[in-house]
Amino acid sequence: MANNLKSRMHNGEQLLGFWLELFSPMAAEVMAEAGYNCAMLDMEHGPGGFLDCISVMQAMKGTDCVPLVRVPWNDHVAIKRSLDAGARGIMVPSVDSAEQAHQAVAACRYAPGGRRGNAASIIRASGYGVNAAEYLNTIQDELLVICQIETRKAVESAAAIADVEGVDMLFVGPSDLSTEMGLIGQVDHPQVHEAIAKVEAAAKSAGKLIGHIPTPKRPVKLLVESGASLILTDADVALLRNGARNSIEAFRSLTGTK
């Protein structure tokens, strides 16, 4: 499952992904076949574990949808196991400092540049060892390392985080950022927008990619115009919920039932 997301974005392409929360292989297969560029398997807020990640990656195999994993925390064991399972990119939540960014990068890289354990002879990511040599030769360059900016401290440290070698993208988490700023639920508050602008400037200055989640006042169109490299605009659970609610509301408006 070749990954060219990083090179495509650095070449100026803007890509679209979705959040995978249900960890249903069939739902993942449907979404991947629909044509998204990537899927973010959400182990931070979703209920899935490592075997669930493998199941949905298997369901997406053969499509052009690249599997990325948001790990539960900046933990080298979780990162290592996600990579061994076949993730072609890692999103680390709530990275607040350059030191934490260094830790995330080290967990993603083999020595001498990192501390990832090498089991390429048996892991799923290398075809259970069939493609071990190719995997070892390419994964360091192809892997997408994403640091989420979700606190005031992270905004203040955004330039330092972006300057860390091996960090490929800063990704803004507007919900957590607004909450930590004391503006819970106000993802489009002017102060939040101001903080996001600082993160965008830091990424641009360092030559790094920037990723976003749309909000009501920062919809996909605006994010595209602002130069976002990756937009995670949908979630499997939200599409299912919204589709069901729209159908129910349409029926009830026709019949007057509740």
> Which string of DSSP letters, residue by residue, matches 174-199?
HHHHHHHTT-TT-TT-HHHHHHHHHH
63 CB contacts (<8 Å, ≥6 apart)? 29, 32, 33
In the numeric block, which tokens belong to residue 45? 């807020």
Q: At which residue do the structure tokens 């949908």 appear?
A: 234
Whole-angstrom distance, CA of residue 208 vs CA of residue 237: 30
Phi-psi region of 129 (alpha: psi -120 to 50; beta: other; left: phi over 0): left
Predicted confidence at residue 258, as pLDDT, reads 86
Structure tokens at 39: 């899927």
What is the pLDDT at residue 1? Answer: 43
Q: Is the pLDDT of residue 3 over 60?
A: no
What pTM does this model have? 0.97
Give 22-44 pLDDT, tens digit per residue: 999 999 999 999 999 999 999 99
Q: Give 42's Cβ-side CA count (13 Å radius).
A: 17
Q: Which residues are catalytic?
A: 45
